[in-house]
Amino acid sequence: MKPVFIKTFGCKVNYSESVAFADVLKKYGYQPLELTGSELPSSDELERPVVFVNSCCVTKEAERKAAQFVRRIKREHPQSSVLFTGCAARNHTVSDQYRDAGAEVFDFYPQAFAYLDEVLEGNARRTDALASEARYESSQAIDTAALDNTGIVGLGRSRAFIKVQDGCHNMCTFCIIPFVRPYASLPFDEIIAQVDGNIAGGVREIVLTGVNIGHYGMTPVDTIENIASDKHWRMGKLYERTPGHPDLSDLVDAILGRLPQGTRLRISSIEPEDIDDRFYGQLQHPRMAPHVHLPLQSGSDGVLTEMRRLYDTATYRNVATRIREAIPHGSLTTDILVGFPTETDEQFAETLDFCTDMRFERIHGFPYSPRPGTRAGRLPQLPREVVQERNRRLIAHCAMLGEQQWQRFVGRSSQVLVEEERDGMLIGHGEAYQVVQLPVQEGIEAGNIVELKLTNLRDGVFSAEPVREKKAQSV
CA–CA distance, 296 with 312 (Å, rounded to integer): 9
**Where exactly are the structural domains of the chain?**
2-137, 138-333, 410-466
CA–CA distance, 98 with 53 (Å, rounded to integer): 11
CA–CA distance, 184 with 217 (Å, rounded to integer): 8
Coil, helix or strand for 309?
coil
How many CB atoms sit inside 10 A of residue 81's CB?
A: 20
> Nearest CA to 343 among 368, 365, 315, 363?
368
Model pLDDT, residue 135:
39
Model pLDDT, residue 109:
77
Model pLDDT, residue 157:
60
CA–CA distance, 99 with 164 (Å, rounded to integer): 31
Q: What is the DSSP letter of 389?
A: H
For the chain, state the CA radius of gyration.
Answer: 22
Model pLDDT, residue 22:
85
How many CB atoms sit inside 10 A of residue 101's CB?
A: 20
- HSE toward the beta carbon, residue 92, CA cutoff 13 A: 4
Q: Which CATH architecture has domain 2-137?
A: 3-Layer(aba) Sandwich (3.40)
Q: What is the assigned CATH class of domain 138-333? A: alpha beta
Model pLDDT, residue 144:
30
Please state the φ and ψ torsions of residue 174, each to the nearest 5 degrees: -100, -5
Tell me the pTM: 0.84
The strand order across the sheet containing 30-34 reads 30-34, 2-8, 50-55, 81-86, 104-105
DSSP string, 198-257: HHHTT--EEEEEESSGGGTTEEESS-HHHHHSSHHHHHT--EEEPTT---HHHHHHHHHT
Give kind and range of the element (H or E) at residue 463: strand 461-466
Q: How confident is the prediction along the chain (475 residues), in pLDDT tens digits per residue? A: 788 899 999 888 888 888 888 888 888 888 888 887 777 776 655 667 889 999 988 888 889 999 999 999 898 888 889 999 988 888 888 888 899 888 999 888 778 888 887 777 766 555 454 444 443 343 333 333 322 222 333 334 688 889 999 999 888 999 998 888 888 899 999 999 999 999 998 999 999 999 999 999 988 877 777 776 666 555 567 788 888 899 999 999 999 999 999 999 999 999 999 999 999 999 999 999 999 999 999 999 999 999 999 999 999 999 999 999 999 999 999 999 999 999 999 999 999 999 999 999 999 999 999 998 899 999 999 999 999 999 999 999 999 999 999 999 999 999 999 998 889 999 999 999 999 999 999 889 889 899 999 999 999 999 999 987 555 554 4
Distance from the Cα of residue 406 to its chain's centroid:
22
**What are the angstrom distances between the C-alpha of 295 and each of 100, 224, 396?**
36, 22, 19
CA–CA distance, 94 with 89 (Å, rounded to integer): 8
Model pLDDT, residue 154:
37
CA–CA distance, 408 with 175 (Å, rounded to integer): 35
Model pLDDT, residue 353:
98
Residues β-bridged to residue 7 = 53
Amino acid at 45: E
Full 3-state SS string of 45-105: CCCCCEEEEEECCCCHHHHHHHHHHHHHHHHHCCCCEEEEEEHHHHCCCCCHHHHHCCCEE
Model pLDDT, residue 43:
60
Coil, helix or strand for 299?
coil
CB 265 within 8 A of CB 288: yes
Model pLDDT, residue 139:
35
Tell me if 2-137 shares its fold with 138-333: no
Model pLDDT, residue 182:
84
The CATH number given to 410-466 is 2.40.50.140
CA–CA distance, 185 with 166 (Å, rounded to integer): 6
Task: Assign residue 239 a region (left: φ > 0; alpha: ψ between -120 and 50; beta: otherwise).
Answer: beta
